[in-house]
Amino acid sequence: MESPKNNTAVNDGENTAPAHFIREMIRDDMRTGKWGYKVVTRFPPEPNGYLHIGHAKAICLSFGMAAEFGGVCHLRFDDTNPAKEEDEYIKSIKRDVRWLGFDWGEHLYFASDYFGKMHEYAVKLVEDGKAYVDDLTAEQIREYRGTLTEPGKESPFRNRPVDENLKLFAAMTRGEIAEGTCVLRAKIDMAHPNMNMRDPVMYRIMNVPHHRTGDTWKVYPMYDWAHGLEDSIEGITHSLCTLEFEDHRPLYNWFLEQLPDIHHSQQTEFARLNLNYTVMSKRKLLRLVQEKRVSGWDDPRMPTISGLRRRGYTPESIREFAERIGVAKRDSVVDIALLDFCLRDDLNKRCARVMAVLKPLKVVIENYPEDQVEELDAVNNPEDELMGTRKVPFSRVIYIEQDDFMENPPKKYYRLSPGKEVRLRYAYFITCTEVIKDSAGGIVELRCTYDPQTRGGAAPDGRSPKATIHWVSAQHAIGAEVRLYDSLFTKENPHDSPSGDFMENINPDSLKIIDGCKLEPSLRDAKAGDRYQFERLGYFCADDDSSPERLIFNRTVTLKDTWARMQKKI
């Protein structure tokens, strides 16, 4: 065992990250050398769906603690249930963990690799009289289990001789006994106050091929039996899991105590992440996918990591969010606004500003020379000088946002209206002189004049319009489709419906597709995943389906909209 002196991983003092009970526990263990000055954690997803933001919390915690204390974190696929698992999920999970910024190195494991070892341990328990083959049906087992207030009843097969148990378990294993006929159970205590301790099932017969072990196995281990052994075999020190496993911890420990020669990991539970306006269970997310309420697991409205990535979230913002929500022992619901806050904060620093017009209104600047084009200087990111400047073409016909014009403006509307002057970002001041309408009275075009003295956005006489709006030169603009998202559910708690079914609270307007948007030409080469701030409109990310021939942008998140807030107040 190493001594504390020559261990450099003990991290005391310099760490500024907020304290939480798991960080404190590990710090203590590193001080006392409880685990030989080592930290080995694991993230154990079941490959039966895509990872969601709740998993991100668990990933940031287990990988984060290992990194902080100089340890390692294993990625282990908990593939003990052959019926539900698919390779597509394994691929997506690996990609998502990597994308979040974590690396399991050589420590990639599959619970199914331990089936042999687990089976040997089970035989040992049978030999020691601590497990038996039970012929009760699943329903009888449930009945015999008792309730929270009443003790259970012992199965008539509980006291089978060891030899008979060994023979039967071997026959189960060879596939000689039909599915559902019998199970292997631990012999603990049918009157135990903790129901999990009432002779839990360890193995059931399943005639289902496994994605990795094929037809080798006819019996498959149950979670409680398997999980502690997986941790033990891998030498996990701190097995961090969510609170629903708290009541299983006595069983986790009991199994490991029956096998005194093997490593005994420490299970510690923390509160799972819940977010408002969304659902966060793979089963429910799968339903959204299967019932085609979203386009897939990576639909940008999904709380999945792949959905968030496609929408334009950054791994840094998700990690920051995970750090800010902290780690607690009590369940709570976190406001999605906190995630968006972390996101804006990060995007603000990293995204170039560009101009894009989502709902174009044509503006002809009548006193601007017909064939003239000027290249105006635009700042890429006022937060970061190093991001430099770019040239934006300006010409006689431009597009502005339909919302930036009102024919009969209310008080405090400072944008363009007849006779009013506004500043075009990086360009000139323009004044609206005429409104052109179609036969139905819809506004189709504005006529304006510009003041050549105001190039770059300032007037020699010092006058300054109250509003600055964005624009795109019509002849240089490139077309794009833009997808605007709202939350997938209309209620903070999606289960709040008469039937309790979250599907009833799906937001019918969660996706708005706008075609015919006009972008400044610098966006021509945007590649899937590229992120920008469209000035005044929010942060946008080129969608996975975007191509140079057909640009598609997702709105990741809005900027704070001062006009909307003002309107709400009125």
Is residue 246 a contact partner of residue 271, using CB atoms and an 8 Å limit?
Answer: no
What token pair was written down for 82? 């052959």
Binding mask 46-85 for Mg ion (x = CB under 5 A): x---------------------------------------
Close Cβ partners of 46 (under 8 Å, ≥ 6 residues apart): 77, 78, 79, 81, 84, 85
Which one of ligand ATP, Mg ion, none is in contact with 282 (Cβ closer than 5 to 8 A by kind)? ligand ATP
Which one of ligand ATP, Mg ion, none is in contact with 342 (Cβ closer than 5 to 8 A by kind)? none
What token pair was written down for 112? 């199914």
User: Could you please report the per-residue DSSP string of 53-111?
Assistant: HHHHHHHHHHHHHHHHTT-EEEEEE----TTS--HHHHHHHHHHHHHTT---TT-EEEG
Give yes or no: 145 in active site. Answer: no
Of all residues in the shown chain, the one whose CB is closest to Mg ion is 46
Minimal distance, residue 54 CB to ligand ATP, in Å: 2
Q: Which is nearer to ligand ATP, 322 or 542 (CB)?
A: 322
What token pair was written down for 229? 């052994």
Q: Which candidate in 38, 282, 310, 415 is catalytic?
A: 282
Q: Is 492 in the site for Mg ion (CB under 5 A)?
A: no
Q: Which candidate in 272, 287, 362, 491 is catalytic?
A: 272
Close Cβ partners of 472 (under 8 Å, ≥ 6 residues apart): 355, 356, 357, 360, 398, 399, 518, 519, 520
Which one of Mg ion, ligand ATP, none is in contact with 273 (Cβ closer than 5 to 8 A by kind)? ligand ATP
Q: N- to C-terminal Cα distance for the chain?
A: 69
Token pair 């006689």 in the structure block, residue: 396
Close Cβ partners of 402 (under 8 Å, ≥ 6 residues apart): 359, 360, 361, 443
Which one of Mg ion, ligand ATP, none is in contact with 567 (Cβ closer than 5 to 8 A by kind)? none
Q: Which is nearer to Mg ion, 46 or 246 (CB)?
A: 46
Minimal distance, residue 63 CB to ligand ATP, in Å: 12
Q: Which is nearer to ligand ATP, 48 or 433 (CB)?
A: 48
Of all residues in the shown chain, the one whose CB is closest to ligand ATP is 54
What residues make contact with ligand ATP under the rule CB under 6 A?
44-46, 54-55, 57-58, 241-242, 272-273, 280-283
Q: Which is nearer to ligand ATP, 125 or 256 (CB)?
A: 256
Which H/E stretch holds residue 421?
A: strand 421-424
Which one of Mg ion, ligand ATP, none is in contact with 45 (Cβ closer than 5 to 8 A by kind)? ligand ATP
**Looking at the DSSP assignment, which residues form a beta bridge with residue 434?**
447
Give yes or no: 282 in active site. Answer: yes
The pairing of strands 201-205 and 183-186 is antiparallel
Minimal distance, residue 51 CB to ligand ATP, in Å: 8
Token pair 């770019």 in the structure block, residue: 390
Give yes or no: 536 in active site. Answer: no
Q: Which is nearer to ligand ATP, 220 or 368 (CB)?
A: 220
Q: Is residue 552 packed enough to be buried (19+ CB in 10 Å), middle (13-18) or exposed (0-12)? A: buried
Q: Which is nearer to ligand ATP, 15 or 281 (CB)?
A: 281
Q: Which candidate in 46, 154, 179, 492 is catalytic?
A: 46
In 3D, which of 192, 171, 191 has the Cα closest to residue 182?
171
Minimal distance, residue 292 CB to Mg ion, in Å: 24
Q: How many residues does the chain have?
A: 570
Q: Which is nearer to ligand ATP, 54 or 360 (CB)?
A: 54
Q: Is 272 in the site for Mg ion (CB under 5 A)?
A: no
Is residue 231 a contact partner of residue 41, using CB atoms and an 8 Å limit?
Answer: no
Which one of ligand ATP, Mg ion, none is in contact with 275 (Cβ closer than 5 to 8 A by kind)? none
Residues in contact with Mg ion by CB under 5 A are: 46
- Tell me the catalytic residues: 46, 272, 282
